[in-house]
Each structure stands twice: as structure tokens, then as C-alpha cells.
Amino acid sequence: MKPDSNPDVMTIRQMCDAFDVTPRTLRFYEAKELLSPIREGTRRLFTRRDRARLALILRGKRFGFSLEDIRQTLDLYDRDGGQTAQRQKAYELAMKRLTEMEAQRAELDLAIAELKTELAEAEARGLVSRHAA
Amino acid sequence: MKPDSNPDVMTIRQMCDAFDVTPRTLRFYEAKELLSPIREGTRRLFTRRDRARLALILRGKRFGFSLEDIRQTLDLYDRDGGQTAQRQKAYELAMKRLTEMEAQRAELDLAIAELKTELAEAEARGLVSRHAA
DNA sequence: AGACAGGTTGACGTTAACGTCAGCGTAACG
DNA sequence: CGTTACGCTGACGTTAACGTCAACCTGTCT
């Protein structure tokens, strides 16, 4: 019987298709303790928790955070386990990340505005056409 | 006589102090054609143009862009030189970057909102204190 | 039984973005 | 004129984040 009868867990290939990553990447993330799929014999089965974490990981990457940065922040989203002291640390770390992200947002807004200005000027100088080949 | 008598150019060390990077980094960026300081004999002298570009480079990095991505976009800010065809390409590339950045901002907003929610819930669950050690 | 699809574990290769170190040049200072 | 500061050029080392490949197991289909 196939193991994917359970809709709550996914095989490595299903994960790859769903998130557009390679098996190597998922195993790598597991080795780095970003994911912790359960084992059915030797095979990995990824739970909802793994999927949620992977989504957060990929997002974090798009924002330029390192896997190590991400790993540490990730624990906040784990409402269940963890000692109080650990949770407190995760919380504070997440606060720090929040501050960073808000700063990044501010700078991003600025950069976008500047780039728009630059594009408008280039246009005004008549050296480019809005839509070409 | 010291070369830094000219306020328009800076030595490598002045650049390092101003932008908090190492000499190695500046030479590396030059090798990758992101910067093109003039030479006084063997020594590098960085112009206003180099400084402007470096600022953009460092910003781009904070947004998670690769040096290669940055290098290509950078040319848009070079109002002077360049063939028309080249400028047109740079323009279109910059448009693409703009779209990317706006998408990134949207996702960033979402992520910030989610993280805030998560923090609020953690607080509500009473497992953490807003400000600890 | 044979073959095939899908998964697993090492182990080594690769790319980006620098760090580090040796060896050399040179300019200004005491 | 020696040395101290600053800079330069290779050239090799390093870290992160995977890619690639070989060798192996295992369930399923024919």
C-alpha cells in the first residue's frame, strides 16, 4: 500500500512538486534541523508542520535571511513544545527580526521610489521607450 | 603630497571607513566590474560615481540581490555613457527589478503582519513577557 | 523472477562572496 | 637611509547552500 493514503503527510517528491525544490534541498534542510520529517522505515514523510516551516523558510530566503537566521526565528511558530526560557528567547529574537523587517521595508520603499524617479528621468531624456522588443 | 587633497576622490581606506567594508571587498567589486576607480600610479582613487554605485550595491545586497543582478541594474544610474541599445536594455532590466521589488514589498508586508500576529498570540498565551532580561 | 520507479546515504564538486596570507612596491617621516 | 604605513597583486582558504554521482535498498507491476 502506498503511504500517501494519509493526506496529512507527503512524500519527498510531493513536497518537491508542491514547493519547487529538489530532494537534496529538503534533506539538506533536515540535516540543518530546519525540518524534521517522520520516518516510515527509511523514507521521509513530511507533516503539516514541515510544510508550514518550509513555506516560512523559502519566504525568509527571498528576504535575504540566512538559513541559520531562519532556523532560530522558526521556533516561535512552534506553539507547542519548548521550555519557557527557550520560548522567551525565541520571542525576543522574533521581535528583533520584526524590527529588521520593518527597517527593510522602509528602505525598500525608498529604493523603489528612487528607482521610479530614475526610470522616469531616463524616459524624459527620451533615450528609451517604455515598451520595446 | 598626499593624494586625498582632492575632496572628490577617496583612497581605499577612506572608502572602507565610510562604508564599513574591507579593502578586499572593494577590489573584489572592481574585479567584478561593479566599481571602476581611477588609478594614480598603482593606487586606486574612488570617485563620486564609485561612491554612489557602492551605496546602491550595499543596498541591493540587503535586499538579497546577487552582485551579478546588481551589476546589471546599476548601469541605469549611469546617465552619461552607453549606447542606445545598451541603455534600453538597462531600462527594461530596471523595470523588471522594480516589479520584483514591489512584489517583495507586498510579501514583506504580509510577513510582517503574520509575525505580529504570531507575537501577539504568544503574548496572549502568557508564555512570554514583552520585555525581559 | 526481473525490472523499474522512487527513496536513502555518503562523499565529493560547485558557485558566490569574500578572508587571509605572502611577497613586493613606494612614499613620507625621523 | 632605514622603517613604518599604506597599497598592490596573486594565490589559496572558507562558508553557505546546495548539485551531482555512485551504490544500495524496497515496494510494485508484469
Chain B residues contacting A via beta carbons under 8 Å: 59, 61-64, 76-77, 79, 84, 87-88, 91-92, 94-95, 97-98, 101-102, 104-105, 107-109, 111-112, 115-116, 118-119, 121-122, 125, 127-129, 132
Looking at CATH, the fold of the domain delimited by B1-64 is given as Multidrug-efflux Transporter Regulator; Chain: A; Domain 2 (1.10.1660)
Model pLDDT for residues A36-83, shown as the tens digit of each residue: 999 999 999 999 999 999 999 999 999 989 999 999 999 888 876 667
pLDDT at A6 over 70: no
CB-based contacts of B23-26 (< 8 A; 24+ apart in sequence):
B26/B54
Cα atoms in the Cβ-side hemisphere of radius 13 Å centred on B127: 22
Model pLDDT for residues A109-121, shown as the tens digit of each residue: 999 999 999 999 8
Angle between helices B67-74 and B48-62 (to 10 degrees): 140
Tell me, what's the ipTM? 0.84
H/E stretch holding A124: helix A84-124
CB-based contacts of A81-87 (< 8 A; 24+ apart in sequence):
A84/B127, A87/B122, A87/B127, A87/B128
Task: Return phi, psi of residue B21, to 5°.
Answer: -135, 170
Please give the sequence-ordered ranges of beta strands (E in DSSP) within chain B, or none if there are none.
38-40, 43-45
C-alpha cell at A63: 528576504
- A1-63 sits in which CATH class? mainly alpha
Cβ–Cβ contacts within 10 Å for residue B112, how many? 16
**What are the residue ranges spanned by the domains of chain B?**
1-64, 82-133
